[in-house]
Amino acid sequence: GSTGGGNVDLNSVSFTKVGSVATGAQYTSLTIGPDGKLYGLTLGGDIHRWTISSVDGSLTNKETLNAWKATYGDRSAVGLAFSPNSTANNLIAFITHCSSGLSSAPDWDGKISRLTGANLETERLIVTNLPRSLRD
C-alpha cells in the first residue's frame, strides 16, 4: 500500500467531539512544544499547557504559565513560537506582546521576549518599540 499522500478518499474522514477542553479563553496562538505538550497563548498573555495523550490525543493536566508577566502586569499577546534550539529539558520560546487592551493603544508598544525555564518563567526582553495599531 501507499504510505505518502496521493489520491486519498477523504469522504469517510470524520471527527468525534469528546467535550470542551478550554472554555472562556481567547487563544491567539497554539503550538506543540519540544516536550510534546500543547501550548495555547491567550490574548491576556497566559500560556496554557496540556499533556497530549498518546492513546487518543485527548488533553489533560492543564497548567497556566504566567510568571513571565511579573514585570509587566496584564499584556495583550499574539505570537508564541519555540526556538529550533529548544528541547524538552531546555524550553526556549519567543512571545510577542504589548500593553493590555484592544483600543487606544500606544503607537510603539510592541515587544518580543525570550522565555526560558521549565515553566517559561524567565523573561528577557529582546526587541522593543515595535509599531502597534491604535485598535486591535
Taking the model in full, what pTM does it have? 0.81
Backbone angles phi, psi at 71, to 5 degrees: -75, -30
CA dist 84 and 90 (Å) reads 11
Which pLDDT does position 1 carry in this prediction?
Answer: 45
Below-70 pLDDT ranges, the chain:
1-6, 18-22, 134-136
Q: Residues 7-46: pLDDT tens digits?
A: 777 887 877 776 666 677 889 999 999 999 999 999 999 9
Q: Which residues fall within 8 angstroms of residue 33, CB to CB, at 6 or more apart?
A: 39, 49, 82, 86, 88, 91, 93
CA pair distance 61, 51, nearest whole angstrom: 6
